[in-house]
Structure 1
Amino acid sequence: MTPSKSSNARDYAALDDRVLVELVLQGDLEAFRDITRRCNQRLFRVARGIVKDDSEAEDIVQESYVRAFEKLASFRGDAALLTWLTRIVLNEAYGRLRRRRMNVDMEHIEAAQMKSENVVSFSPRYGVEDPAVAAGRAQARQLLERAIDQLPEAFRIVFLMREIEGCTVEETAVCLDLRSETVKTRLHRARRLLRAQLKDTLAATMADAFPFLGARCDHMTDTVMKRLNP
């Protein structure tokens, strides 16, 4: 598959995933750009749920896109394109964790633990709003993100996919190679752990956690496109 730019003006947003994949295989890089924009937020959230670091999560997603591009011809459509990409991201993220655990020494472990306690700062998803409301929303979101980061890894990724990304039980099970019953059990236990820290008053902020839209989304997409078409 040789990268090239499409000479025809297309409304990519109106095309479904299968059509976009076919266009990419025909050499239309702009179709792949649209794929990344559709998938960036889900993939970033999943990667960050595993590594708990913004920069590394972005790098994981970028690397996964390049790998997906290289083997896009193997995509058969048995699952949704986003599901297929999610599994690539999961493999990359867990692979990095395995390498990290094999090589890191105690000093690095302690540094990582200290870093994980820092407040994660995200750009606001909303427009202009009352400063007091914005501050309250930001504080609530930070509390939620901290609590999610503290969940055991197996529960954390299930919670992110089901509650924050809104994936179905079946899609989550396929992505994580789990039984549906296991997904339900882990989600139930994750909710119980979070309720112990947050109470139900923070439930309304879940949809705002780990946003990845706007400039950051554009930056990651542009970085991927430059790698594919230097």
Structure 2
Amino acid sequence: MYAIKAMPSQMYTGRWQIDTGTVKMDTCMALDNFGLADSEVITATVSYKDLSDHRLIEATKEGDEDAFAEIIERYRNPLTNYIYRMLNDYEEAVDLAQESFVRVYFAIDRYHSNYAFSTYIYRIATNLAISEIRKRKRRRLFSLTGLYQYEGDDEKEFQPPDNKPLPEDNTVNAEKREVIEKAILALPEMYRVPIVLREVQELSYEEVAAVMKLGLGTTKSRISRGRRLLRERLRKYFDDNK
């Protein structure tokens, strides 16, 4: 059970209790100010889905696991999608998304509300994804190549899994989407991360800068450069298919 204590005032105190998926607020009116001895209780019900990230995190800090389950529900698909775009590996994306939540949970007291929770968890996921990319490079198990430029028969063509959490896009057919996905994967790491955060996850420039711990000017510059690289990689394909 989690209690959110409202700020005290001369008129009332509030008590929030999260119980079996709902939040019950009992507002006790301090009627003594009016010469009355009793109090009136007003009850309102709000679901977990109506709570802000900050409220859910505060609840989690107090031991409410259902509150953290709502955090997972909110961020599981977008986070997995983001990591998948970075790695082109659905199973690894699922694993790293889960690892992100585990790290958040066991370091929950380190999160402070002076910045958005989305920034916090995307930063963790970004670090995990970059670490995995570098491990694969060191092990020579992962290589980024140009569009349709494979080094041998063992090079596996990009085929997103059927259960990938990617958004629907009816304006781009499967073939073109495949080319775009591969072009993003072929971007250097320093451009791929901000491009995916900005163009795929639709974070603001300020949010991307916060996730990457970069200045706003540097972030915009990398996104701009990344867009130019994508256009260069895609120009030949789209020119040939006009």
**1:118 matches 2:158:** yes
- 1:26-49 Cα deviation digits (max 9, x unpaired): 222221121112212332233234
User: What pairs with 1:27-46 in structure 2 (closer than 5 Å)?
Assistant: 27-46=63-82
User: What pairs with 1:42-57 in structure 2 (closer than 5 Å)?
Assistant: 42-57=78-93
Secondary structure (helix, strand or coil) at the match of 1:78 reads: coil
User: What residue number does 2:124 align with?
Assistant: 88
Task: Report the structure, 1 or 2, having the larger helix content.
Answer: 1
Q: Is the 8 A contact 1:49 1:157 kept in 2?
A: no
User: What residue number does 1:26 align with?
Assistant: 62
1:65 CA displacement: 0.6
User: What residue number does 1:8 align with?
Assistant: 20
User: What residue number does 1:66 align with?
Assistant: 102
- The worse-fitting range, judged by mean Cα deviation, of 169-178 and 93-102 is 93-102
**RMSD of aligned residue pairs (Cα, Å):** 3.0
1:100 CA displacement: 3.6
Q: Is the 8 A contact 2:87 2:133 kept in 1?
A: yes
User: What residue number does 2:231 align with?
Assistant: 195
Task: Report the structure, 1 or 2, having the larger strand content.
Answer: 2
Q: Structure 2, unaligned stretches of length 5 or more?
A: 1-17, 23-46
Overall identity of the aligned pairs, in %: 29
In 1, distance between residues paired with 2:144 and 2:230? 25
Q: Is the 8 A contact 2:90 2:161 kept in 1?
A: no
Higher relative contact order (CA 8 A, sep 6+): 1
In 1, distance between residues paired with 2:144 and 2:225? 28
In 2, distance between residues paired with 1:17 and 1:56? 26
Q: Is the 8 A contact 1:12 1:34 kept in 2?
A: yes
Paired residue total: 187
Change (3 A) 1:136 1:111: closer
In 1, distance between residues paired with 2:144 and 2:183? 19
- TM-score normalised by the chain length of structure 1: 0.70
User: What residue number does 2:203 align with?
Assistant: 167
- TM-score normalised by the chain length of structure 2: 0.67
Change (3 A) 1:135 1:84: closer
